[in-house]
Amino acid sequence: MEKSYSASYAAAGVDITAGYRAVELMRQHVARTLTPGCIGGLGGFGGLFELDCTNMPHPVLISGTDGVGTKLKLAFMMDKHDTVGIDCVAMCVNDVICAGAKPLIFLDYIACGKNVPEKIAQLVAGVAEGCVQAGCALVGGETAEMPGFYPEDEYDLAGFTVGAVDKSRLLDNSTMTPGDVLIALPSSGVHSNGFSLVRRVFDLEHDPEVLTRYTEELGRPLGEALLEPTRIYVKPVLALMEQVTVKGVSHITGGGFYENIPRSLKEGCCARIRKADVRTPALFDLIAKVGNIPERDMFNTFNMGVGMVLTVAAADADKALAVLHENGEPGAWKLGEIAAGSGVELC
pLDDT of residue 7: 72
Domains of the chain: 7-169 (3.30.1330.10), 181-346 (3.90.650.10)
Residues 6 or more apart from 211 whose CB is under 8 A from it?
Answer: 74, 77, 78, 202, 204, 221, 222, 223, 226
What integer pLDDT is reported at residue 26 of this predicted model?
86
Cα→Cα distances 223→43, 210, 329, Å = 36, 8, 25
The pTM (predicted TM-score) of the whole model is: 0.95
Q: In angstroms, rounded to a whole number, what is the distance separating the alpha carbons of residues 45 and 31? A: 18
List the one residue out of 200, 190, 313, 197 whose CA is nearest residue 252. 190
Q: For each of the chain's 347 residues, which pLDDT tens digit applies?
A: 455 666 766 766 777 787 778 888 888 998 999 999 998 777 778 889 999 999 899 999 999 999 999 999 999 999 999 999 999 999 999 999 999 999 999 999 999 999 999 999 999 999 999 999 999 999 999 999 999 999 999 999 999 999 999 999 999 999 999 999 999 999 999 999 999 999 999 999 999 999 999 999 999 999 999 999 999 999 999 999 999 999 999 999 999 999 999 999 999 999 999 999 999 999 999 999 999 999 999 999 999 999 999 999 999 999 999 999 999 999 999 999 999 999 999 99
Half-sphere exposure (Cβ direction) of 15: Cα atoms closer than 13 Å: 13
